[in-house]
Amino acid sequence: MATVKLSFSPAPVHVRTARLVGVAVARRAGVREDLLDEVRLAIGEACTRAVALHRQYGLAEPVYVEMSDGGGYTVRVVDRAPIEAGLGLAALGPDELAKESLSEDALTTGVGFALLAGFVEDLQVRPVDDGVGTEVWMSWPAGRA
């Protein structure tokens, strides 16, 4: 089982790097070519969410990403924000999305979760085992297990 670990300071500019690495490892692991766009988007959304939380709570600690290809391709994105920050998967309907009162941040968060839930069949958002924080766990079938 090969594992690639990445940690980056919580700045938007690094999210693209995480996406690129995530897709490279997925390809290497044998994830089907037509799933790679979804892998790229999902890793991007999970990292964007983590960066937003770290900035919201003023946390300078890095966001941690771990990719492994033991029996499928698995990605963990770990943030260190207080748990109450966002375990819920908010699904917004079209009426809510178009509402004047919905802030852009709230909309982006809701849409981000909708994309994660829509693109990742095997998705878990759960508290980390050690200390404070949340882990977004995602898995895709990989040809070369």
Partner 1 sequence: MELSLATRAVGEHTVLEVGGEVDVYTAPRLRERLLELIDGGARHVVVDLGRVDFLDSTGLGVLVGALKRLRAAGGSFALVCDKEPLLKIFRITALDQVFPLHPTVDAAIAADSTGA
Residue 73 near residue 42 (C-beta atoms within 8 A)? no
Q: Does 140 bind partner 1 (CB under 8 A)?
A: no
Least distance in angstroms from the C-beta of 3 to partner 1 = 25
Residue 87 near residue 94 (C-beta atoms within 8 A)? no
Q: Does 63 bind partner 1 (CB under 8 A)?
A: no
How many Å apart are CA 37 and CA 31, to the nearest integer?
A: 11
3-state secondary structure of 24: helix
Q: Does 94 bind partner 1 (CB under 8 A)?
A: yes
Measured between alpha carbons, how far apart are the two ends of the chain, in Å?
8
Q: Does 52 bind partner 1 (CB under 8 A)?
A: yes
Structure tokens at 140: 């895709």
| Candidates 37-45, 67-75, 81-89, 136-144; binding stretch for partner 1 (CB under 8 A) | 37-45
Of the residues 35, 92, 128, 132, which one makes contact with partner 1 according to CB under 8 A: 92
Of the residues 70, 118, 127, 143, which one makes contact with partner 1 according to CB under 8 A: 118
Of the residues 6, 8, 15, 78, which one makes contact with partner 1 according to CB under 8 A: 15
Q: Does 13 bind partner 1 (CB under 8 A)?
A: yes
Q: Does 104 bind partner 1 (CB under 8 A)?
A: yes
Q: Does 71 bind partner 1 (CB under 8 A)?
A: no
Residue 130 near residue 137 (C-beta atoms within 8 A)? no
How many Å apart are CA 28 and CA 59, to the nearest integer?
A: 33
